[in-house]
Structure 1
């Protein structure tokens, strides 16, 4: 996917609703070159409502799959995402951004939504992403179990610090 297709000529839009669709693929994620997601397939449906000469409401609907590392085994996994986001844009003297209002330089009239799309995708990824039970890398799961057992003291019991013992007595 060529990122140039994500540059929207706001001046060329008709008054009322304008509908655009994009399919973001691995090429898009590599071009954006951001850390969280480097692969995926996301469909974007964008409705741009032009009201008056210089005000625009952009309604994004994103749905698809991105590849993220599993929190348990660190192997890549497919994570489905869906998001509905809104931006408002207006023409001004220079490009600027304030909350959900984007000011586009009137002499250019071009709004590049490539990075906004990436941010929407990154925000749609759940905080915790883990393979379905039994799908994690078995070697990594064994290593985690081994180190978890060693850390929890199952292998070699050490004498507990007397201060902790006293605190445990208070808990009872």
Structure 2
């Protein structure tokens, strides 16, 4: 994880107040995590670190796009991603990240690595179902969509099919009227 050293924020020398950190995330960042679902990535991350006397507040903001295959047609497209995360960093006797919103780090720490939070925020900002915008507006032309249209179940709403019933059930209806 040598590539992720750039995401260490040394907070020990910072004055109290707000500090802004910016990162440009590319596919190389995800290769460090062995994550290969994105073909390409162009995401801008800004972190506003507010240093207080006894704790730190980190506000993450991600905005950009990732190149992914469509779940319907398997065509590649750029999926827009954006997300926010608010994290409070407190100091304690030992490291504890059980709570999603509060991170406790040892008193002797002098820096925090934010790469894991950036990774999770981008991954969770991508929708579960990724659909190409041209599929949504109906302008996509692909072999997969043509084949899906051919295999779609056709609905027959003729009146005689709705009125006719299975003759085996007609005998059961007689039981209801014989009371």
Question: 1:131 aligns to what?
Answer: 132
Post-superposition Cα deviations, 1:98-118, rounded to whole Å, max 9, x if no partner, equal 121011222233321111111
Deviation at 1:77, TM superposition (A): 1.7
Q: Is residue 9 of structure 2 the alignment partner of residue 8 of structure 1? A: yes
Match in the other structure for 1:60: 60
Task: State whether residues 55 and 90 of structure 2, in contact with CA within 8 Å, keep that contact through their aligned partners in structure 1.
Answer: yes
Q: How many angstroms does 1:144 deviate by?
A: 2.7
1:45 maps to 2:41: no
Alpha-carbon distance, 1:127 to partner: 3.5
Deviations 1:30-88 (A, max 9, x none): 11223654531111111100110x30000111111112221211233211112222111
The runs of at least 4 aligned residues of structure 1 exceeding 6 Å deviation read none
1:142 aligns with one of 142, 146, 150 = 146
CA–CA distance in structure 1, aligned partners of residues 19 and 51 of structure 2 = 8
Equivalent in the alignment of 2:31: 30
Task: Output the TM-score relative to the length of structure 1.
Answer: 0.76
Distance 1:14 1:82, change over 3 A: same
Distance 1:30 1:36 in 2: 10
Counterpart for residue 159 of structure 1 = none
- Select the structure of larger CA radius of gyration: 2
Please, which moves more after superposition, 58-67 or 10-19?
Answer: 10-19
Contiguous gaps of at least 5 residues in structure 2: 156-165, 171-179
Q: Indicate how the Cα distance of structure 1 residues 76 and 106 shifts in structure 2: closer, same or farther if over 3 A, else same.
A: farther
Q: Work out whether residues 41 and 65 of structure 1, in 8 Å CA contact, stay in contact via their aligned partners in 2.
A: yes
Contact 1:68 1:77 in 2 (8 A): yes
For the 8 Å contact 1:75–1:136, the answer to whether it is kept is no
Task: Tell me the equivalent position of 1:90.
Answer: 90
User: In the aligned structure 2, how far is the partner of 1:77 from the partner of 1:145?
Assistant: 22
Contact 2:94/2:106 (8 A) holds in 1 = yes
Instruction: Give the Cα separation in 1 of the matches to 2:57 and 2:33.
Output: 24
* Residue 176 (structure 2) aligns with: none
Shift of 1:92: 1.8
What is the CA–CA distance in structure 1 between the aligned matches of 2:30 and 2:140, rounded to whole Å?
25
Aligned residues: 153
